[in-house]
Structure 1
Amino acid sequence: MVHKTTFGTAVEVAHHRPRLSPIGSPVRHFRLQPELTVKGGGASDVAVVQGFKTTYAFVADARGEVVDWLALATAGTCVAVLAALGYSQETSRDVQGPAA
């Protein structure tokens, strides 16, 4: 799913760092506003995982854990994968989420 325009913001839940994916790369947790429409409902959280050459976005729970390993989008960077979903990364604040 790729959007040509940005319709929302993604704010990192930075206190969920550091977290590693099964391949050992860092996982960043973002809270989306408004939520993203996905198959089976909506997603207000995504986990962004940097792979070896590609960055992936996955549906996550409120703690930033991946709940579906089917990639929502792929791109070269974190900012680009969020943009592919239609979100701009907001870096001015950290949102609070459940304790990791």
Structure 2
Amino acid sequence: MEADQGNKIKLAQRDQDSVGVMMGHETRLGYIEGRLESFATKADIKDLEGKMAVSDQRILTHVSEAIGKQTKWILVSIIVPFFVAIIGWSILFIQLFKK
């Protein structure tokens, strides 16, 4: 019974410590958010959002261009062997019909 009571006390202390740690984290986060709000104005934030949007658009443009190039190379790598085969068959048939 005393061991059970001791375990309950330890669990309660651990829970209380966890709550204290979480409150400490929330306090630090609130402090950091307050510092950020005092540091950056709304204009700064809008400017940063605009720069991020431009950066995202550039990335999308580069990615779409790269995908386009790769798609072209894939199509070329599929189509060229067919043309080579057709040319080879043509030469073969020409050689066969000459005799």
Category of TM-score, reference length = shorter chain:
under 0.3
TM-score for the superposition, normalised by structure 2: 0.15
Q: Which is greater in Rg?
A: 2
Ranked by relative contact order (alpha carbons within 8 Å, sequence separation 6 or more), the top structure is 1
Q: Compare the two structures and name the one with the higher strand fraction.
A: 1
Q: Compare the two structures and name the one with the higher helix fraction.
A: 2
